[in-house]
Amino acid sequence: MSQGNVVPHNTKMISMILRSLGIEECEPKTILQIHEFIYKYATDIMRDAAQYAELAERKIITEKDIKLALQTKVGRYFIPPPSKVYMSELANMINSKPLRSHSEDNIKMSSGKNALLNHETKLSTEKDNI
């Protein structure tokens, strides 16, 4: 196998994960960005876990240290979506307000050049007709 055909194991794994999500093709830079994110995220977690172990006067990082480090990083890296209950309450509040109704006395006019499908119109007064 020549040196140019060697693909790193991590790159293969990221490609397999993307394929499992239905992404068949992507730019090579995408895989590189994912790889960089994973590296930065993992090293940040391990550094924090090492600090927690040091504060507990241990030389060995435990699972609890890693879990604590993960919990502190989740808010910084991943913003969770709002809860369904909150979104439902918000939708009910917004949808409870009635839409403005236009009376038939109002004349609807297009906005001229900014109108996409309307023709530019002009109202004429009785003086213009004389």
Q: What is the pLDDT of residues 7-50, one digit of tens each?
A: 788 889 999 999 999 999 989 899 999 999 999 999 999 999 99
Residue 52 CB neighbours (<10 A): 19
82: tokens are 């709002």
CB 33 within 8 A of CB 50: no
Is residue 121 scored above 50 in pLDDT?
yes
Longest dimension (CA), the chain: 99
Q: Structure pTM?
A: 0.52
pLDDT digits (tens, 9 = 90+) for 58-74: 999 999 999 999 988 88
pLDDT of residue 1: 40
Q: Coil, helix or strand for 43?
A: helix
pLDDT digits (tens, 9 = 90+) for 24-33: 998 989 999 9
pLDDT digits (tens, 9 = 90+) for 76-91: 777 778 899 999 999 9
Domains in the chain (CATH in brackets) are 8-95 (1.10.20.10)
pLDDT of residue 67: 93
